[in-house]
Amino acid sequence: MYLKLSHLCWVIYLVTLSDAMTLGDQIKEAFAEFVLDTESFLQLDEHGKVVNCGPSNMSLTWTPKTINSKGTLTIDGYAQFPAEFQTGTILMDVKYKIFHRTMKFQVTCSMMQTYGIPVQCPVKQGQTVKGQFTIKDLSALSSIHGSIEVKILLYNNSGTQLFCGIVIADVN
Ligand SMILES: *[C@@H]1O[C@H](CO)[C@@H](O)[C@H](O)[C@H]1NC(C)=O
Ligand SMILES: *[C@@H]1O[C@H](CO)[C@@H](O)[C@H](O)[C@H]1NC(C)=O
């Protein structure tokens, strides 16, 4: 929610200056303005950006900014591998409401290809993966409603960190 001071002023203005409307109508009207403003704000800034917390030279965004578990998610941008990679580990640190859980998966370069990530296997140090890929099934998020924070870390089999990204998104 992007509640601005100007909206509060609107509420006070309507409550104090308009005596023709009931208080309920006035508040409703003030919030209608607020919703319109929020929508135009979201249209201007409709993608989310992954925060880089690791050694990779990367810039990744996702659309739509608000993730819908019944829809798809498109990731766009580039990420450079600072070290070699063939097989390794992904750690996912998930924070949602009061929950905080770390999940660990084994991952191979060819698994990434099957998920549609345009990577060349085996990865040599310095390879840049760029372009777009779409995650078509987000049903794993169907029980999430609200803000979620996911930190994704990738290590190669020698334990060298290749990637760290933080996604903070609203899911509905
Ligand atoms: C990071 O990667 C981008 C895209 O491949 C490239 O244009 C840029 O020069 C790289 N920056 C560094 C510091 O390597
Ligand atoms: C992991 O990366 C390091 C640093 O580049 C490298 O020395 C090592 O061989 C890599 N391990 C594997 C299994 O690719």
Tens-place pLDDT, residues 152-166: 999 999 999 999 999
Q: How many whole angstroms from 57 Cα to the centroid of ligand 1?
A: 6
Q: What's the pTM?
A: 0.74
Does one domain contain both 65 and 126? yes
Split at pLDDT 50, 70, 90, the class of 46 is confident
Protein residue with its CA nearest to atom 11 in ligand 2:
158
The pLDDT, as a whole number, for residue 116 is 85
Q: Which atom of ligand 2 is nearest to the CA of 87?
A: 13
Does one domain contain both 32 and 59? no
Q: How many whole angstroms from 159 Cα to the centroid of ligand 2?
A: 8
Domain interval for residue 15 = 5-44
Does one domain contain both 93 and 23? no
Q: Is 77 left (phi over 0), alpha (psi -120 to 50) or beta?
A: left
Does one domain contain both 64 and 30? no
Does one domain contain both 87 and 52? yes
CA–CA gap between residue 92 and residue 79 (Å, rounded): 18
